[in-house]
């Protein structure tokens, strides 16, 4: 009989309980209401509610217990008919809240009836939404502007992650929107968002191949050309993690092959790199000036 | 259309229109309402006809009678501050076939309750709606805004400048109301006077009325 899903929260349950007692919200004893409410709570699987919903019911239970306890405590009496005092009686304030909620619950019923009746009328453009009122279009435009903004932000985010977005996102020159119902627009937008959020994952699964060999040669040439560079300069403009990793691996390889000196002035400080002068007969032997390390080709992809 | 309105011989579209007969004027009104789809205010219709606003009402009522007389599938209704050409309600069953799944989904009980508070208490903040309903209303409020029934109408001059919500003309149209004044009156709040004597105030052992201490804690 007491199906939780039909209730719109603890206030709704209380109104139901009051109706069951066949009295008004002003007549039901708070103690009776509290008792019934707690009995109701025992029958519903409160632990299966989401936290906030369960909390609503627990707060209501606590409120009722407080009001009930308050009534049991004798207090010094005052002359009757003090209106100001009535305003401040929490039990009365609580009953008024319930009564107020009842009014709006009834009003929701009127609206439901009006809706049922109004559903019988159709007008030109009803199906494609073009018969909607102008201010709806104003809101749709605002929604479209917001959507564009979101798309641009997403595009910027993708670019920061080193991925190009197909073409710039340009706001349409014509501000007029096609005649679509707002619900369809919202659905389309949801699909759009879904696609956008999937894109980085797709790219992450199939990363662009970065050639260790090519990177090694690039670094080698640059260091020889400029004499010395810092690591920060080498990874400048490389936003993708994989690119930075490959740069670092290439550097390790160059150091291992004794083509490059690397040093730091302090821990975690800037990493300086310089071409290492060749010593004949040391290591794998002196390569010709300017020729890239022979081993690089074997080791890179 | 532009070319036609330049044609001085076209009575229906010519500028100035002092020579329009009532039936021609009604034809213009019918055409304008058909083309608009949505409701048009009398002032707007008067501008289209180049006549005084006062003379539009009788023309519209006459047009409504004509539609009735010829048993047209269309009727005129007054809604959302204007006049709208809509299908005859008795034909709704036939049109359901046409609209199919594009029919707007019914509002949930939660959305209807929130809408009721907004409709009768506007402009109203989210916190005020929540105080009445006793639950969070963010979800249902968003639904109503998305469906164009409720919109932000301003900010309350209060700490945090909370958003004030109100109903839209779309709300009036979707619920078939001419104005907010056409909402069914909100039920009178049940008062202490309505209740059976004694029970509310005396539910606690009768020993007098509320006290100062209740004022303090309440």
Residue pLDDT, tens place only, A2-25: 444 567 788 888 888 888 888 888
> Is A183 part of the contact surface with chain B (CB cutoff 8 Å)?
yes
Weakly modelled stretches of chain B, pLDDT under 70? 1-18, 100-102, 188-218
Q: What is the rounded CA–CA span in Å between residue A210 and residue A247?
A: 10
In this structure, are residues A250 and A173 in contact, taking their beta carbons and an 8 Å threshold? no
3-state secondary structure (DSSP) of residue B23: helix
The pLDDT tens digits for A45-70 are 777 777 777 888 888 888 888 888 88
Element (H, E) at B200: none
CA distance A230 to A272: 4
Find which of A27, A32, A70, A188 to mutate to test the B interface (most B CBs within 10 Å of its CB): A27
Domains of chain B and any CATH numbers: 2-95 (1.10.10.10), 109-182 (1.10.10.10)
**Pairing state of beta strands B74-79 and A271-275?**
unpaired
B112 and chain A in contact, CB less than 8 A? yes
**A100-159 residues touching B, CB cutoff 8 A:** 100-108, 110-112, 114-115, 117-127, 130-136, 139
pLDDT band at A244 (very low <50, low <70, confident <90, very high): confident
Sign of the CA dihedral running A49, A51, A56, A57 = positive
What is each CA distance from B148 to B145, B166, B172, in whole angstroms? 5, 11, 11
- pLDDT value, residue B118: 94
Other CB atoms within a 10 A radius of the CB of residue A286 amount to 13
Choose, out of B93, B145, B218, the residue to mutate when testing the contact with A (most A CBs < 10 Å): B218
Domain A212-299 has CATH 3.40.1000.10: no
Weakest-pLDDT range from A223-227, A265-269, B129-133: A265-269
Distances (CA, A) of B35 to A182, B10, B29: 21, 19, 10
The A residues from 265 to 284 touching B (CB cutoff 8 Å) are none
Mean pLDDT for A258-282 is 76
Assess A88–B contact: CB distance below 8 Å, yes or no: yes
Check residue A285 and give its pLDDT: 43
Give the residue with greater pLDDT, A83 vs A300.
Answer: A83
């Amino acid at each position: 009989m007491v199906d939780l899903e039909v209730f719109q929260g603890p206030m709704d349950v209380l109104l139901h309980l009051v109706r069951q007692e066949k009295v008004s919200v002003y007549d039901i004893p708070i103690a009776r209401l509290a008792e019934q409410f707690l009995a109701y709570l025992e029958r519903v699987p409160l632990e299966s509610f989401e936290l906030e919903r369960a909390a609503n019911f627990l707060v209501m239970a606590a409120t009722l217990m407080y009001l009930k306890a308050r009534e049991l405590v004798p207090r010094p009496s005052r002359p009757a008919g003090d209106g100001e005092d009535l305003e401040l009686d929490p039990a009365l304030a609580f009953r008024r809240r319930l009564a107020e909620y009842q009014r709006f619950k009834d009003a929701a019923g009127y609206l439901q009836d009006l809706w049922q009746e109004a559903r019988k009328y159709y007008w030109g453009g009803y199906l494609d939404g073009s018969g909607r009122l102008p201010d709806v279009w104003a809101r749709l435009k605002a929604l479209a502007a917001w959507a564009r903004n979101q798309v641009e932000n997403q595009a910027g985010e993708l670019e920061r992650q080193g991925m190009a977005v197909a073409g710039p996102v340009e706001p349409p020159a014509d501000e007029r929107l096609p005649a679509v119902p707002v619900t369809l627009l919202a659905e389309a937008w949801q699909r759009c968002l879904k696609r956008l959020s999937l894109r980085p994952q797709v790219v992450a699964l199939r990363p662009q191949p970065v050639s260790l060999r090519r990177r090694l040669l690039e670094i080698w040439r640059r260091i020889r050309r400029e004499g010395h560079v810092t690591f920060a300069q080498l990874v400048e403009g490389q936003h993708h993690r994989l690119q930075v990793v490959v740069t670092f691996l290439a550097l390790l390889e160059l150091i291992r092959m004794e083509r490059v000196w690397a040093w730091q002035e302090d821990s975690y400080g800037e990493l300086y790199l310089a071409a290492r002068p060749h010593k004949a007969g040391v290591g794998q032997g002196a390569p010709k000036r300017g020729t890239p390390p022979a081993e690089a080709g074997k080791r890179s992809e | 259309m532009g070319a036609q309105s330049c044609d001085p011989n076209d009575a229906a579209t010519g500028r100035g229109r002092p020579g329009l007969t009532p039936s021609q004027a009604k034809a213009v009104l019918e055409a304008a309402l058909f083309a608009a789809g949505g409701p048009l205010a009398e002032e707007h219709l008067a501008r289209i006809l180049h006549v005084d606003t006062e003379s539009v009402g009788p023309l519209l009522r006459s047009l409504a009678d004509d539609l009735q007389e010829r048993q047209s599938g269309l009727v005129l209704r007054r809604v959302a501050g204007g006049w709208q050409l809509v299908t005859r309600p008795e034909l709704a069953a036939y049109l359901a076939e046409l609209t199919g799944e594009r029919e707007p989904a019914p509002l949930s009980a939660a959305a209807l309750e929130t809408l009721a508070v907004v409709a009768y208490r506007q402009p109203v903040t989210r916190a005020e709606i929540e105080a009445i309903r006793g639950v969070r209303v963010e979800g249902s409020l968003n639904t109503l805004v998305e469906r164009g029934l409720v919109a932000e109408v301003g900010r309350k001059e209060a700490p945090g400048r909370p958003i004030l919500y109100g109903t839209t003309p779309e709300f009036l149209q979707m619920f078939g109301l001419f104005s907010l004044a056409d909402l069914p009156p909100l039920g009178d709040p049940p008062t202490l006077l309505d209740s059976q004597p004694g029970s509310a105030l005396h539910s606690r052992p009768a020993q007098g009325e509320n006290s100062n201490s209740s004022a303090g804690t309440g």
